[in-house]
A and B are shown apart, each in its own frame.
Chain A
Amino acid sequence: MNERMRRFALSVLSAVVALAAALVILAIVLTVLGVDPFEAVAALFNFGETPRAQSNQIRAWINRSIPLFLAGLAVSVGFRMNLFNIGVEGQYRVAALFAAWAGAAVTLPKPIHISYIIVVAMLSGAAYAAIPAVLKVTRGVNEVITTIMLNSIAIALTAWLVRGPAVRADLPDNTNPSTEPLPESARLPGFTWIFDMFGLEPPSRPVNGFLWVAIAIGVVVAVVLRSSRFGFSLRASGLNLTAAAASGIPARRMVVQAMLLSGALAGLIGLPQILGEVYVFGDTFTAGLGFAGIAVALLGRNSPAGIAVAAILFAFLDRAGPSLQREGIPPSVVVITQGVIVLTVVIVNEVGTRMVKRSEERRAGGTQAAPPPSGTTPPASPPAAEVTA
């Protein structure tokens, strides 16, 4: 227990150190760019003038956190096994298209309809992730290369599908092509009661109801990774593939399973938008969430709780983009901030890990230096005495 507390305290400490370092670096960068750092930070925390505008900003913050969290989670499952699934970007686009397409084709009772769309999305994401997985285990192709290439294919494939086979029948003129809108039964209601709870004015539009699905998925993934045999095998393979294989964990199967799970989680990334906001997959569907997920996973250090924190932090910065622009500050400050934070966290984390390791070695070494085990080991009759040639 003591050990775990120490480790937890150290990880919190390293996060604080990283953020502090990030702020210092950021201030320097902004000054060099000719932006007043205090003004920029003030703009980051500016939620608007009216209560309604503030509530809208909070809503935007929460809504942005949801796909970032799911994306981070998807990437982290691969990272756990040293698999770099750069293809989350493509996987969620493909999955979003198929989910919207399949969802609009049927009408079912609401809970069943929504569950059905979630399942379709996860299966499509997993199927698209199966391609690099199979290539890796059968032909030894590096997944980084295949997933990057499959991202381009995904963009072209979805663009073609949404113009061709999947396009809505009654596409109005002068609009971007999209799939058939989801019927009423597939639309996930949002909520605003959380604003009432804090005595805030409700935002103009509700918070996305997919938040609860995302939280539930996060808890399930956390528990599975932590305590299930599958999670153990996944982590063991990531830590030492040879030892895992010698312990009966088949490496290839773990690669495929991890990749499929990563892809299935990636499939969820587009759903908040499809089920709760736009109800279609269109040409203008939000891009870049998969890549953001890589940064979120790094920042969250692959733990679901850490990823949640990282997603909330990234979303906080993301939603400040428009207000920065209004202040005449380049919105790229947001991206710079995110980049700097990821870098400092990764560096501080690495340094911290080494410190922990060294301190543990010292502690373990301390017990090592205890008097020789003259009494503790049974007085054996070794087959050979020490050589006294």
Chain B
Amino acid sequence: MTADDPAAPAGPPATDGGPPAIELRGITKRFPGVVANSDVNLVVRRGEVHALVGENGAGKSTLMKTLYGMHQPDEGEIIVGGEVTRFRTPTAAIAAGIGMVHQHFMLAENLTVLENVVLGSEPRRGVLLDVGGAERRLREVSQRYGLKLRPHRRIEELSVAERQRVEIAKVLFRGARVLILDEPTAVLVPQEVDELFGNLAELRREGLSVIFISHKLDEVLRVADVITVIRRGTTVATVTPAGTTPRQLAELMVGSELPVPETRESTVTDDVELRLDGVSLAPPDAPALLRDIDVTIHRGEVAGFAGVEGNGQSELVETIVGLRRPTSGTVHLGGADITAWPVMKRREAGIAYVPEDRQRQGLLLAAPLWENRVLGHQTSKLLSTWGWIRRRVARADTVRIMAAYDVRAPGAETMAGALSGGNQQKLVVGREMEGAPRVLVAAHPTRGVDVGAQAAIWDRIRQARHDGLATVLVSADLEELIGLSDTLYVLLRGEIIARLDPAEVTPEVLGSYMTGAASEQEAS
């Protein structure tokens, strides 16, 4: 396929010749058990809209948090306006002219636009708030960059797009020369996106730099002067929109290597284990989260679900597990209609669940490991009799699982919160694979775990698949999806838009389906 050239030079945008606004050199950031960023290099010039693209979990937010002073890099340097700097806090980054517009707005709803903008950096005259001066400055900022803000309106009266412009004004008000916009278009409708891009053009014309984080390729190609691709924690290429195509960009994002070809025989049987018929999830006053999902998963089959985060994967998983009730359609486990069953009954019937956020949904961090072993299995015959938990058995079984799944902790009495993310995940996977489940619902089963543990978890899933387990696999790691799945589904806006054969699909093809770039008729 196409060459993936990390040395591709950045096409110089039409800017002045001074030093770049921001330069990141060799940034590496490690968290216990994972390297979130390694050797990241990024040059943002003045008056440039610089897009940072990559898959979920590729390390974009970690990098931006480093730049914004929310944590310190372990290696590498940050150069602002030609000078090496270190930001110990976001305040220091703001002082250096770096501003961040978060994906989730941080505005006080019952205050006015003006009050929100000055909050935390109130201009003062003596001891009094200089309301007049603040208003004048806000009007000036609004005028200059075409933000069209009315200072005395209250936030709760504003649309999402207007709120976003308030956030931008907040950053500009503090004198930012470099703006980081984290997924700014995720919350906007198309016309609003156009308007935002108009604002960005104004900012660029005034010599400000914008770092635009996104995974929507069409938007990136429209608005950016330079695009840097980040994959698996490192920058892999810097390209210009003129010199690239959506397809090439998608390939860069997901990596063009094919997974190691697997000489494995299919273990898929004819016995249907899990069946979803016309499952929809449509809250009365919001767009549908799932639309008419028809899926049949057999014993020994791994069904992978690909999709850009927020396109219905979480909802699908929660519907199968029983945390959400579909508004229409049915779910069958084996021959039984389980649509109306509560979570516990489904678990007892053999549905195991590895949730996407282990700390939030999978663990009691302030409880010992053995109690976490019991969690979700508090009615199992092994761990309880007559409504009483068998504490001794639970402890012994926890020790066994810790050995079998290489969970590293002093003992079964250790608090779950004391473990590293990888070890927590291994415990969750170990717990869920116990008791021979019929269906495994695994959301990002190897997220945040090291390579060794990842391989071990994959092996466990393959082994269970061989023994007849039906698996629903959701992952942002396309190689994991392609490598493990027998069938691949692509979810876009809550709908299955393609059913693909993992033996024939490449990550870049899959990626183009996920971003909506590939059309249905191309589906195999």
Contact = CB atoms under 8 A, between A and B. Distances in A.
Contacts of A108: none
Contacts of A361: 417-418
Contacts of A373: 406, 452-453
A376 B455 CA distance: 12
Contacts of B368: 3
A74 B459 CA distance: 49
A345 to B, nearest CB: 19
Interface string B451-493: 1111110110000000000000000000110111000000000
Interface residues of B, number: 71
A389 B4 contact: yes
Interface in B397-415: 406, 408-411, 413-415
A243 to B, nearest CB: 5
A145 B404 CA distance: 49
B388 A382 contact: no
A377 B456 contact: yes
Nearest to B409: A364
Contacts of B6: 389
A240 B363 contact: yes
Interface stretch (B131-139, B162-170, B189-197, B375-383): B375-383
A363 B452 contact: no
Nearest to A380: B455
Contacts of A245: 323, 343
B389 interface: yes
Interface in B113-160: none
Contacts of A368: 32-33, 408, 420, 423
A335 B291 CA distance: 62
Contacts of A367: 408-410
A229 B458 contact: no
B18 to A, nearest CB: 32
A239 interface: yes
A386 B231 CA distance: 12
Nearest to B422: A368
A1 interface: yes
Contact of B360 (A230, A232, A240, A385): A240
B415 A360 contact: yes
A384 B420 contact: no
Contacts of A227: 388-389, 391
A236 interface: yes
A364 B421 CA distance: 12
Nearest to A356: B415
Given A245-B343, A373-B452, A382 B365 contact: no
Given A3-B368, A378-B459, A243 B259 contact: no
Contact of A229 (B255, B346, B384): B384
B388 A248 contact: no
Given A368-B33, A389-B4, A248 B342 contact: yes
Contacts of B387: 228-230
Central interface residue in A235, A367, A370, by most chain B CB within 10 Å: A367
Central interface residue in A229, A236, A368, A383, by most chain B CB within 10 Å: A383
A250 B388 CA distance: 18
Contacts of A248: 322, 342-348, 376, 378-379
B307 interface: no
B417 A357 contact: yes
Contact of A386 (B344, B408, B451, B484): B451
B6 to A, nearest CB: 6
Interface string A218-253: 000000000111111101100110111111111000
Interface of A: 1-4, 227-233, 235-236, 239-240, 242-250, 357, 360-361, 363-365, 367-368, 370, 372-374, 376-378, 380-389
Given A229-B389, A389-B257, 9 more contacts: A3-B368, A229-B387, A235-B371, A243-B363, A247-B343, A360-B410, A382-B483, A383-B458, A384-B482
8 closest residue pairs by CB, A with B: A383-B483, A248-B344, A384-B479, A3-B413, A380-B455, A247-B376, A360-B418, A248-B343
